[in-house]
């Protein structure tokens, strides 16, 4: 049976403070909702200079608030949502017979502190539980699922992934489920419907929608926010498979920063590798507000057992100031708007000509400009091509995107002749370079 961490007095105090903040936020946001639906807070924390990574260690704000969801009664708050949230595993890790599939797993027993792998401290939660999944996904239709874009961006995603429902720990017995009914709990990806992954910064998209090999039965599609922007300080919950562990619910997070102009918002949700792709719920409305996608890469911190032995302890971040800036202070959530656009057949990431696009996934008021050769209705539908210099100006030429380079400094080396025989003249990306040293 997994060990349950008992909070220290300091952690207990922090948890109570956080619950008080959550209750206060509930009152504040409930009061504000009528006046602020569709409004947002545009002030965001400073982005780091270095490139960010996907979540690669446990991120906990003000005490761990993860709990099990297996074998819940049908009237429980998380019964339906947990049955519609699944683990993504490698299909090669499944061993199946005619009726059941068993997933390969390793026990949760180590954490990385700096460059060292240390045993988990004995009071860490979930020690010994199976680690099997890589990401989380959730139902948005009877055969459609949403997840993080970075979870689905490999070329062979559909060919290599399996979807496991009911990968949980029984709340009564503590027993983890690693054997699954082949018909009711094991599914596969048949089609990647939409993929948006542009990197890990807050201004980048990170979502995916994929179709299952067959419709699910006895599971619901989760309710999604269809319009507007979640207000700051709204309390949040999430479901996921943190660290690849069986499905957990995390209650106690809230929106730290949000903006209608950005595809992600910042939160204090506890998260870990494997949490990516999980649904993030508005505590007040029970709607899915987004997809958990990114966070800090701060490692486990050094801990000690009562006998002095070194061990790995989950790194704690402050709910007000966030995690130390290694990449993100806060856990990032992709707004569910991009998924709604897919369902409404107006997405810029679904490989289809729809919505107000002038060509497939480009042009129009919402999508990126089309490259030269793409279809267009007006000049704004066109860009200058892949990584163009500033002098490449896209325009619409009789329904086809073209590029005007007339303002470029050069096109060939002879355009850069400065009249000095002792310089080597060069045209690079339409910019002139005159290198010295041709004469001794």
The pLDDT assigned to 317 comes to 81
Mean pLDDT by 10 residues, the chain (440 residues): 32 41 44 35 33 43 75 94 98 97 96 91 93 97 97 95 97 95 98 95 95 96 95 96 95 92 93 92 97 80 95 85 75 96 97 97 96 96 84 96 94 94 92 84
Structure tokens at 118: 């240390």
Distance separating alpha carbons of residues 214 and 187, to the nearest angstrom: 7
Distance separating alpha carbons of residues 69 and 137, to the nearest angstrom: 16
CB 288 within 8 A of CB 336: yes
Structure tokens at 232: 């700051």
The pLDDT assigned to 38 comes to 34
> What is the 8-class DSSP label of residue 370?
B
Distance separating alpha carbons of residues 209 and 65, to the nearest angstrom: 28
Give Cα separations from 373 to 351, 370, 381 (angstroms).
17, 8, 11
CB 410 within 8 A of CB 427: yes
CA 261 to chain centre: 17
Distance separating alpha carbons of residues 254 and 316, to the nearest angstrom: 16
The pLDDT assigned to 278 comes to 98
Q: Residue 246: left if φ>0, alpha if ψ -120 to 50, beta else—which one?
A: beta
User: What DSSP string describes 52-79?
Assistant: P----S-BEESS--EEE-BT--TTSTTH
The pLDDT assigned to 60 comes to 64
Structure tokens at 59: 């991120």
Where are the extended beta strands (E) located within 63-213? Answer: 66-68, 85-90, 94-96, 100-103, 106-107, 110-113, 116-119, 130-131, 135-139, 144-147, 161-165, 179-181, 186-197, 206-212
CB 427 within 8 A of CB 411: yes
């Amino acid at each position: 049976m997994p060990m349950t961490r008992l909070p220290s007095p300091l952690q207990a105090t922090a948890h109570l403070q956080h619950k008080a903040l959550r209750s206060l936020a509930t009152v504040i946001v409930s009061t504000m909702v009528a006046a602020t639906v569709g409004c947002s807070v545009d002030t965001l924390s400073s982005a780091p200079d270095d490139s960010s990574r996907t979540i690669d260690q446990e991120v906990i704000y003000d005490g761990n608030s993860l709990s099990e969801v297996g074998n819940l009664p049908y009237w429980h708050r998380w019964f339906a949502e947990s049955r519609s949230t699944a683990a993504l595993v490698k299909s090669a890790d499944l061993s199946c017979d005619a009726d059941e599939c068993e997933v390969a797993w390793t026990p949760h027993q180590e954490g990385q502190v700096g460059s060292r792998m240390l045993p988990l401290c004995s009071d860490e939660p979930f020690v010994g539980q199976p680690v099997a999944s890589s990401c989380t996904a959730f139902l948005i239709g009877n055969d459609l699922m949403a997840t993080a874009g970075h979870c689905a961006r490999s070329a062979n995603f559909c060919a290599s992934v399996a979807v496991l429902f009911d990968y949980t720990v029984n709340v009564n017995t503590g027993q983890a489920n690693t054997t699954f009914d082949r018909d009711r709990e094991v599914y596969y990806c048949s089609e990647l419907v939409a993929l948006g992954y542009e990197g890990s910064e807050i201004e980048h998209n990170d979502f995916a929608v994929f179709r299952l090999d067959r419709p699910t039965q006895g599971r619901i599609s989760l309710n999604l926010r269809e319009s507007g922007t979640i207000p700051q300080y709204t309390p949040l919950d999430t479901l996921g498979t943190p660290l690849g562990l069986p499905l957990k619910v995390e209650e106690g997070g809230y929106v730290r920063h949000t903006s209608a102009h950005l595809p992600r918002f910042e939160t204090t949700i506890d998260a870990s590798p494997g949490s990516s792709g999980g649904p993030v719920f508005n505590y007040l409305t029970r709607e899915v507000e987004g997809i958990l996608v990114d966070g800090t890469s701060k490692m486990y911190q050094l801990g000690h057992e009562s006998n002095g032995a070194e061990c790995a302890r989950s790194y704690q971040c402050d709910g007000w100031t966030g995690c130390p800036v290694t990449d993100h202070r806060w856990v990032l959530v992709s707004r569910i708007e991009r998924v709604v656009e897919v369902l409404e057949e107006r997405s810029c990431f679904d490989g289809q000509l729809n919505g107000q696009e002038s060509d497939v996934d480009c042009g129009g008021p919402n999508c990126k400009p089309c490259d030269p050769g793409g279809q267009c209705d007006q000049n704004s539908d066109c860009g200058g091509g892949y990584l163009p210099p500033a002098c490449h100006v896209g325009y619409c030429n009789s329904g086809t995107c073209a590029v005007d380079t007339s303002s470029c400094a050069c096109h060939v080396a002879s355009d850069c002749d400065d009249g000095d025989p002792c310089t080597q003249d060069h045209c690079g990306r339409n910019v002139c370079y005159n290198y010295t040293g041709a004469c001794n």
